[in-house]
Amino acid sequence: MNDKGSLEFLWNHGVMSDEMWANINEHCSFGPSDGVLCDEAKSPFDPLPGYDPCIEFYVPNYFNRLEVQNAVHARINTPWSTCA
């Protein structure tokens, strides 16, 4: 799962220092080629207090509701998923 958005959110809200965010960006491309250095840079934010293991299901569940698809004028009966 690409977690760049979640990590950037933490940085934008002052949960992560500028230095830590720079270290993550230096070592992570947020793609399949990321390795140990990226994992180490992100590791302090893996077991965050209050972490919700179901968070990856909220967006697809929300956008796959018929009333939401109608409200945002999206294609109806389309299986929506988060970006990969």
Condensed to tens digits (0 to 9), the pLDDT of residues 17-31 reads 999 999 999 999 998
What is the pLDDT at residue 77? 82
Nearest in space to 75 (alpha carbons), one of 63, 83, 58: 63
Mean pLDDT of the chain: 85
Global confidence as pTM: 0.56
Q: Do 45 and 81 belong to one domain? A: no
Report how far apart the first and last C-alpha atoms of the chain are (Å, whole number).
7
Full domain range(s) for residue 68:
52-84
Q: For the chain, list the strands marked E by DSSP.
A: none
Residues in the chain: 84
More confident residue, 83 or 57: 57
Give the C-alpha separation, 54 to 52, whole Å.
Answer: 5
Q: Do 1 and 38 belong to one domain? A: yes
Q: Do 34 and 56 belong to one domain? A: no
What is the pLDDT at residue 80? 81
Number of H helices, E strands in the chain: 5, 0
Q: Do 42 and 7 belong to one domain? A: yes
Q: Do 43 and 56 belong to one domain? A: no
- Residue 1: is its pLDDT beyond 60? no
Q: Do 25 and 60 belong to one domain? A: no
Quote the number of domains for the chain.
2
Q: What is the mean pLDDT of residues 34-38?
A: 94
Q: Do 7 and 47 belong to one domain? A: yes
Q: Do 35 and 66 belong to one domain? A: no
Could you give the percent of the chain with pLDDT greater than 90?
Answer: 39
